[in-house]
Amino acid sequence: MTPSRPRTKLFYGWRVVAACFVIHCLNVGTVFYSFGIFFRPLSEHFGWTRAETSWGFSLAAVLGAFYAAVLGRVVDRRGPKPVQIFGCVALGLGFAAIAAARSLAQYYLAMALLVALGSAALGPVSSNTAVARWFVQKRGAALGVSTAGISMGGVIFVPVTQLLLDHLGWRRAYLALAAIIVVFGIPPVAAWMRRSPESMGLLPDGAPHRATEEEIGLVEREIERSFSPDEAVRSREFWRIALAFGLTVSGLSAVLLHQIPYLLDQGVSPHVASWVLGGTAFVGVIGKLGFGAMIDRFDQRRVILFCFGLQALGVSLLFFVASPVVLAAYVVLYGYAMGGNATLQATVVGESFGRAHYGAIAGRMSPVIVTLQALGAPFLGWIHDRTGSYRIAFVTVLLTTLGAAACIGGLRRPPGGAAGGAP
């Protein structure tokens, strides 16, 4: 009689992934996706132009990038848990401050000082660093699952925010989101977040201590080829990655933030426009999982270029949204590309520079990416205000996506890299 095989205990790293999924969901769902819902009520209540309203988000994005550069070092030294708990509190206070705002200046201050800091603390610098430390062979899949929380944030918070807005008004809706962040964000981080597998006597990917030579060799090579932050910044690949994803994220965020106003201008009802945004986010969940699996199996350049191609195709469909079929195709194509973008960005940093200093390297890359991202939404708003249309704005997004593809086309893994394990 053959003895039964013992049950394999679930690797603890998947609890870290679950915590990061929740944090991504809360952070992006309340800051990014909900902003599109609040966009028009804020603009109409205060009499702001679309460009002025967009600058609030962009200001938070730019300052958040510089906060992230500092927070990356804190994550590498202290671990992600204290940074993420702090982020939940800061973001909640930021939304409470927006609810109390009585002027454009107060709105900008709330976004710049609290929302930006809280969102940066909950963003990729802490969450992706945590996951990258726990996985090497399965990094793409793990990051695909954790960053699926980004798109799930849209699936959940687009209808939730619309519901809160309809029944409570925009001020009390912001207060409700503040409470949600604190109540649902802090517990999973406090319970599940840990600094690294080595801190618990484990190996990345859940490899047994009596692992095969091949598994041990893979982990050792990953550690040996880890770059210091200064080495990474001096490499050409660092700037290729930063510029490529800065350009694509600029287009992604700008289109999504202006998506609802654009659809309303085209005669689409507010609730249909909200469901289009939520549907895009839902498909993004599938995109993150799909691209996470692809990047573990195929050449990363080809996978990234495929993602950028889908993004460009999706944007081109916005010119024909009068057709329900085209609108549905936009949701599928653009949502899938949007989902893959965050996963691929997180994966390519670890693949190119290793896991030992992931937080600091991602933090240094953040100002480049987010500064470009921040320029996208107000630029589209400025074009709309000057021309009365989004057509030229969407053509600009197509051109920036083409530039991003050119950056990735020449990407190679940088030579060198020093020894040093994950802290």
**CA dist., res. 190 & res. 333, Å (int):** 37
- Averaged pLDDT, 73-92: 92
Q: What is the pLDDT of residues 324-368, one digit of tens each?
A: 888 889 999 999 998 888 888 878 887 788 777 777 788 888 888
Would you say residue 90 has pLDDT above 90? yes
**CA dist., res. 275 & res. 330, Å (int):** 13
The amino acid at 64? G
- Answer for the pair 348, 336: CB distance below 8 angstroms, yes or no: no
Q: What pLDDT does residue 5 have?
A: 46
Q: Report, in this order, helix, strand and coil percent for the chain, each rounded to 5.
A: 80, 0, 15
Instruction: Please state the separation of Cα 205 from the chain's center in Å.
Output: 23
Q: What is the pLDDT of residues 118-154, one digit of tens each?
A: 999 998 889 888 888 888 778 888 888 888 888 788 8
Q: What pLDDT does residue 203 have?
A: 80
| Cα-Cα end-to-end distance for the chain | 46
Q: What is the pLDDT of residues 386-414, one digit of tens each?
A: 888 888 888 989 999 999 999 888 777 66
- Answer for the pair 361, 124: CB distance below 8 angstroms, yes or no: no
Q: What pLDDT does residue 415 have?
A: 58
Q: To the nearest whole percent, how much of the chain has pLDDT over 90?
A: 28
Q: What pLDDT does residue 3 have?
A: 46
Q: Which of the listed CATH numbers 1.20.1250.20, 1.10.3720.10, 1.20.120.1200, 1.20.1090.10 matches domain 13-200+225-409?
A: 1.20.1250.20
Helix (H) or strand (E) holding 339: helix 324-353
Cα dist from 35 to 49, 54, 59, 103, whole Å: 15, 9, 13, 17
Helix (H) or strand (E) holding 246: helix 236-265
Cα dist from 90 to 49, 95, 120, 262, whole Å: 28, 9, 10, 32
- Averaged pLDDT, 199-218: 64
Say which residue, 150 or 3, is predicted with more confidence.
150
Say which residue, 309 or 258, is predicted with more confidence.
309
Q: What is the pLDDT of residues 283-312, one digit of tens each?
A: 888 888 888 888 778 888 889 999 999 999
Residue 8 — pLDDT band, cuts 50, 70, 90?
low
Kindly list the domain boundaries of the chain, sorted by start residue.
13-200+225-409
Q: Which DSSP state fits 226?
A: B
The pair of three-digit structure tokens given for residue 319, joined into one six-digit string: 């010119």
Q: If you search the block for the tokens 């320029």, which residue do you land on? A: 375
Would you say residue 225 has pLDDT above 80? no
Cα dist from 366 to 79, 86, 184, 358, 410, whole Å: 18, 19, 26, 12, 21
